[in-house]
Structure 1
Amino acid sequence: MSRTVVRTMTGALALAAATAVIPLVSPATAVADSIIIGGTPAHVADSPWVVALSSRDRFGGTRAGQFCGGVVVEPKKVLTAAHCLSREALGTDVGQVSDLRIISGRDELNGTGGKEIPVSGTWVNPGFDAATNGGDVAVLTLSEALPEQDTIPMAESGDSAYRAGTAATVYGWGDTTGYGDYASSLRSAGVSIMPDSSCEQAYPGGRTGAYDASSMLCAGEPEGGYDACQGDSGGPLVAQGRLVGLVSWGNGCGRAGSPGVYTRISAAIGWMTAAD
Structure 2
Amino acid sequence: MKDDEQGRAVRGRIATTVVGAVALCCALPAPAGAIVGGERIAAGDAPWTVSLQTPDRTDGAYGSGHFCSATVIGPRKVLTARHCTEGTRLHESVVMTGSDDPAARPGRRVPIARAWVTALIRDQGVLLTLREPGDVAVLETTADLGVPALPLSSAGVELPGGEPVTAYGYGRASWVRLPPREPALLRRARMLLYSQAQCDESNLATAAWFLCGGPAAGPGSGVVAMGDSGGTLVRQGAAGPELLGVPSTGTDGPLRDRVSGYASVAALRGFIDDPASGVELPRPVGTPRVVGRARVGARVRCELRWSPRPERIKVLWVFRAGGDESVRHSGPDGLRLPRSASGRRVSCIATGWSGALNGAGSRRSPQTAVVR
Q: What band does the TM-score fall into relative to the shorter chain? A: 0.7 to 0.9
- The CA deviation string for residues 100-154 of structure 1, in whole angstroms up to 9 with x for no partner, is 101111011123363111111111112665244641010110111123x521000
Write the distance in 2 (CA, Å) between the matches of 1:155 and 1:45: 21
- The CA deviation string for residues 51-74 of structure 1, in whole angstroms up to 9 with x for no partner, is 011104497165331111100000
1:178 equivalent in alignment to 2:175: yes
Superposed displacement of residue 164, structure 1: 2.2
* Bigger Cα Rg: 2
Normalized per residue, which structure has more helix?
1
Write the distance in 2 (CA, Å) between the matches of 1:10 and 1:116: 26
The 3 A distance-change label for structure 1 pair 274 and 71 is: closer
Q: What letter corresponds to residue 110 of structure 1 in structure 2?
A: A
Superposed displacement of residue 221, structure 1: 3.7
The 3 A distance-change label for structure 1 pair 222 and 151 is: closer
Q: 5+ unaligned residues in a row in structure 2: which ranges? A: 1-11, 122-127, 278-372
Superposed displacement of residue 253, structure 1: 8.1
Write the distance in 2 (CA, Å) between the matches of 1:75 and 1:253: 40
1:210 equivalent in alignment to 2:205: yes
Write the distance in 1 (CA, Å) between the matches of 2:119 and 2:228: 22
Root-mean-square deviation (CA, aligned residues, Å) is: 3.2
Write the distance in 2 (CA, Å) between the matches of 1:254 and 1:243: 29
Partner of 2:65: 65
The 3 A distance-change label for structure 1 pair 98 and 24 is: closer
The 3 A distance-change label for structure 1 pair 134 and 174 is: farther
Q: What letter corresponds to residue 138 of structure 1 in structure 2?
A: A
- Number of equivalences: 244
- Range moving further from structure 2, 180-189 or 248-257: 248-257
TM-score, normalised by the number of residues in structure 2 = 0.58
- Verify the 8 A CA contact 1:9 1:67 in the aligned structure 2: no
- The CA deviation string for residues 169-207 of structure 1, in whole angstroms up to 9 with x for no partner, is 11111222225455432111100111111111122xxxx
Write the distance in 1 (CA, Å) between the matches of 2:254 and 2:38: 11
1:198 equivalent in alignment to 2:204: no
Superposed displacement of residue 10, structure 1: 5.5
Superposed displacement of residue 7, structure 1: 6.1
Q: What letter corresponds to residue 113 of structure 2 in structure 1?
A: S
Partner of 1:100: 93
Partner secondary structure for residue 52 of structure 1:
strand
Normalized per residue, which structure has more strand?
2
Q: 5+ unaligned residues in a row in structure 1: which ranges? A: 14-22, 27-34, 204-208
